Amino acid sequence: MRALCMPQGLSPIELTKLEALICSARSVQRGEALYRSGDRFDNIYAVRSGSMKTVMAHRDGREQVTGLRLAGEALGLDGIGEDVHACSAVALEDSTVCIVPYPALKSLCREIGSMQDRLHKLLGEQIVREAGQMMVLGSLSADERVAAFLLDVSERNARRGYSSAEFNLRMTREDMGSYLGMTLETVSRTLSRFQKRGLVDTQGKHIRIVDLEGLQKV
């Protein structure tokens, strides 16, 4: 659990302090929201098991998936800016999260320099990740977007010690499409074409990457 909740580089002492901080865990049913856009920001979360999506809504009701969080990844940073969550976080499958109260985390960051660094990195990485996604949405073709997405998930799986070649993606085609700025039909067609070209092997939500290099060259 330690490894899952706050994976990177803290000393044992720091981990103990952090563990004291994590008051509780919570389980979230598939489709249920851990928090909603507009909710007061109290906690940062770490996905312990399962996976979640973050969703942002335009005033006219249109929704866009802004992120995917796999087990081990942080969640909730969208609340720091305005003391209120800017996105909603919805479970893609039955999941559990660790709860890290933000005020306590802030104090800890003032006590322990490496904890401060860790939080800053978390925030900074999120900024870079999102800038990368802006690049995907703004500059890549549909094929390139889907390929980039599969490679991203693959790499994140690898980092968590799972297979980079084969995984279950609990998002629907619609979620993927929303995240990638295209329709669910285009996602489906693109995956079918990739399959014909021998790049991937998809059966619904189960995805196997057959030709990694080929996918990188798309």
Partner DNA sequence: CGTTTAATTGAGGAAAGTCAAGTGAAGTGG
Partner DNA sequence: CCACTTCACTTGACTTTCCTCAATTAAACG
List residues binding a copy of itself (CB under 8 A).
54, 56, 58, 62-64, 66-67, 77-82, 86-87, 106, 109-110, 113, 116-117, 120-121, 123-128, 130-135, 137-140, 178-181
Does the footprint of DNA cover residue 205 (CB under 7 A)?
A: yes
Does the footprint of DNA cover residue 203 (CB under 7 A)?
A: yes
What minimum distance in Å lies between the beta carbon of 139 and a copy of itself?
Answer: 5
Which one, of 27, 58, 70, lies nearest residue 159 by Cα? 70
Applying CB under 7 A, the span of 16-24, 69-77, 156-164, 172-180 interacting with DNA comes to 172-180
Element (H, E) at 69: strand 63-70
> Residues 34, 53: contact at Cβ < 8 Å?
no
What minimum distance in Å lies between the beta carbon of 137 and DNA?
Answer: 11
- Single residue of 21, 65, 182, 200 touching DNA by CB under 7 A: 182
Sequence length of the chain is 218
> Residues 53, 89: contact at Cβ < 8 Å?
yes
Shorter beta-carbon distance to DNA: residue 41 or 194: 194
DSSP state at residue 92: S
Angle between helices 184-196 and 173-180 (to 10 degrees): 100
Distance, CA of 150 to CA of 156 (rounded, Å): 10
Question: Given the rule CB under 7 A, which residues bind DNA?
Answer: 30, 141-143, 172-174, 181-189, 191-192, 202-206
